[in-house]
Structure 1
Amino acid sequence: MDLEKRHLKELDWTILLIFVGLGAFSYLGISGSGAGIETAQKQVVWYVLGFVVLGVSLLVDYQLYKSLAYLLYGFGLVLLVGVLFTKPINNAHSWYDLGPVLFQPSEVVKLFIILAVARYLSKNSENPDRFGAFYQLIPPALLVIVPLLLVLIQPDLGTSMVYVGILTTMLVVGGIRLRHVLYLGSLVGSFLATMTVLYFYRDDLFFKIIKPYQWDRIVYWLNPDLEAMGRGFQLKQSLIAIGSGQLMGKGVNTATQASYGWVPVGESDFIFTVIAERMGFIGAGILMMLFFFLIYRMIRIAMEAKDAFGSYVVAGVVGMLTFQVFENIGMTIQLMPITGLPLPFISYGGSSLISNFLIMGIVLNIGMRKQKLMFD
């Protein structure tokens, strides 16, 4: 073990307090959903296990994670390939059924991707021409694209989008050139233009690329009133519930639209809706402020890290959490399409919560070992 008193003095205790606050919101949100208080009590157990995992991840110097980065990445690919041969759950091959619990490998693979990309980028961090040519973007991009494709096959579009967010953030921090951003932007623009042409003139090809259910999410995101009691039901009920919460909310002990099950998957995907209905604009605002301070503290850790690897790892985590929070909250208020992404540290789910605690444990590990001793 490498944990010493000098390391504990550097531990960011503010982040731990933020986790306690997020845990309280998680309990209130889940207990107020159709899942009820029993599910909320299970989440408390997951939170306790999460803090244990976080504590264990602090025991060794984070350089160990750097040395194991590629090995863990390979293990993650094996998990993603293996899950494709499991029995589908909710029409997706995304979980290993371990009896009492379901394990979703794509959650922990987020960490493995961040570690692998961070190790690659840190190797060339001192080279001013590390991204001088466009082809130099290919290796880190492939580290993300391979698991991304495996997740898309499951299918899980939401998690694959998180992988893109991770890569984008780490490349920006790594010093990607503006001209390369313009190249990539033109490629994305060309793809969207091609898809538009196919939609109007060759819809048979269009729907081979874009699945009908994925297109429905876009259509009924833009106008849920087209089928207010059908495919637009989730979003419509979410907007009604959030609006009914008004400024102060209906109260944590009051029967609500969510508690009667009118907000689908209120314990997971739409837990922000439940919180906004029960605690109103003020409660939802406090929750978003907790996320803001969490990201702010992580940015400080990234800036103070003692090496490039640590900075890149924290940058990847910042990109991951920022994207997930923005997407999850955005989809409940019609700002973003519905993707099924959980709200980090709030939505019910053991795989997601434990994986996030493990990831944040490494972030805190980097922060508490930021000081370089003169004779290290």
Structure 2
Amino acid sequence: MNAVDFLEIMALVILFGLIFTKLSRIIKLPDVVMFIFAGFLLGPFCLNLVNIDKHPLAYELILTFGAAYILYDGGREIDFKVLRKVKWSVISLSTVGVIVSAFITGFFASKIFKMDFIYALLLGSVIASTDPSVLVPLFKNLNVDDKLKQTIISESAFNDAAGAIATFAVLNIITKGTFSLAQSIFDLIKTSIGGILIGAIVGYVASLLIAHEKYACFEEHPAEISIVAVAGAYVIATKLGVSGFMAVFVIGMVCGNKKMFGLFIPEQYYVTQTRFKEVMTLILRMMIFILLGTHINFPLLLRYWKESLFVVTALIFIARPISVFVSIIFDRKAEWTFKEIIYLMWVRETGVIPAALSGMLLTMKVPHADIISAVTFATIILTLTLQASSAKILAKLLKIDRPSMSN
């Protein structure tokens, strides 16, 4: 890819992103749904102005850094005091919840598509995780209780690792005929703890450099340091074989709670960083979901639309409620109310990571990869359209929303 091609893609994506952001406000749909539609218009199945398959490195760069920075932004929304109260629910939702969801969805997929259960389980594993790049911005605009908000955001950050490990574990059974429960558990623990340690170290060092009374040599550059910290931590974690996404989320948590360590950023620099972060996050979300939209194979979706609809329905109305119930029922410390549990059962948007996993399976020519891809994109479209757009309405119906500050 040359510089002109890359600039052309950047300009088209951001221009269409701005246009469809305006349209989303007019027709009251989540902007990510409109971004996906914009991507379809730009992509090879419609106008063919953007074909990212010809430039896989650029797509991987945008997807990786975009998801990492949005996760960092989500981490900044987490309050350690709140997280301590719900930590067992978050851990269980991110591990047990993913496994339960994968098995239940896989069971229904095997019956609906009449495929071997192992391939149906692979499908269930791919779409089992939720998407922080959707949920972080969504909950910034929702006035629900911090306990509920931070549980959903934290789950979406932590369950990506579990979803990916489950997918690769099932893939090993298919390709090599082997499975080790002990190895899978070890991989999950290593990936998670390694990412947490790297994120904690990098996050604390970054906070010192911008907010310490003595060591803040980059006090006036908090936005720039955040980019270095996110990119650097992701690279270090990936090279060490642990979760880069976990690392950047923890950086956000540390930076968002820096006052606990006696660290403060002067007001003028804090305002500059906040504005920069908001613009950067919006642009990255545009790019991620518009480019994701260019990948949607609508002929494939149309071929399997009926079966995909049944599988997604089972995921939303059966697998998710059961996985949430099993995951949080024994966490007495969290003190979940019935209304909060209902809300947790409903909110579970699918996005970037499942799309990347399904794309990988297509590249590897795994049997039934076309079906997995169709169901994955159907899940993305339906969960974003149905669940993300109704999250605010449901909060009001359940009376768990709080009055906005302006009131």
- TM more than 0.5: no
Instruction: Give the structure with the larger helix fraction.
Output: 2
TM range (shorter): 0.3 to 0.5
TM-score under structure 1 normalisation? 0.33
